[in-house]
Homo-oligomer: A and B are copies of this chain.
Amino acid sequence: MTETADYPDEPTPDAWLSEAELAVARARVPMLYVDAVPVRVDDSGDVVAVGLLLRVSHDGTMTRALVSGRVLHHERVRDALLRHLEKDLGPMALPLIPASPQPFTVAEYFPTPGVTPYHDPRQHAVSLAYVVPVTGDCEPQQHALDLAWMTPEEACSEQVQVEMIGGHGYLLRQAMAHVGRLG
């Protein structure tokens, strides 16, 4: 679960929330997140491709990630989804935010590994997860090197799964199960 909004070098709507204050909150209450699985669909809504962000993690290894980020104070979940998708995929991605707030699952990232399939060493984060069709041109922003589109089967393959950390690979497979394209 990487989230660019947490990088100190970028002004965000919650820039007023200092790193110190955020650290305090993180140690006290679960942080609310959203996870989005960007997909391309055909005319019948069938998922034909999944978009994964390529990133360099803190220790220099390459990882693949979903779009993920925090919901801010006084921000609606659907606005947080749109903000993070535009931040990671660029302003021309044209994501179709779901009409219903019902997520396909809730991913509970614990700082302690093994409690759930998800893990975030920094915090206890609870994330509402959505499959989001994007219809425009995507270009990776900020801390992502690339956005790769692959078939659902490729995305669920062992080769890609090992490149996803913190449970993102597991969440991706749950998303594909939800749309009937589990590899």
Which residues of A approach B to under 8 Å, CB–CB? 17, 21-22, 24-25, 27-32, 39, 41, 43-47, 70-79, 81-82, 96-106, 108, 110-112, 115-117, 124, 126, 128, 131, 133, 170, 173-174, 177-180, 182
Task: Tell whether A178 pairs with B105 under 8 Å between CB atoms, given A73-B29, A116-B76.
Answer: yes
Contacts of A29 in B (CB 8 A): 17, 22, 25, 29, 31-32, 70, 72-73
Contact between chains at A71 and B126 (CB < 8 Å): yes
Given contacts A25-B24, A96-B96, A180-B101, contact A77 B126 (CB under 8 A): yes
Q: Considering the complex of A and B, which 5 residue pairs feature the smallest CB-CB distances, nearest first?
A: A45-B97, A177-B177, A101-B106, A174-B177, A44-B78
User: Across the two chains, which residue of chain B brings its CB closest to A47?
Assistant: B99
> Max chain B CB contacts within 10 Å: which of A101, A108, A112, A117?
A101
CB of A24 within 8 A of CB of B27, answer no
Stoichiometry, as copies per complex, reads 4
Contact B108 A77 (CB under 8 A): yes
Residue of B nearest to A70 (CB): B29
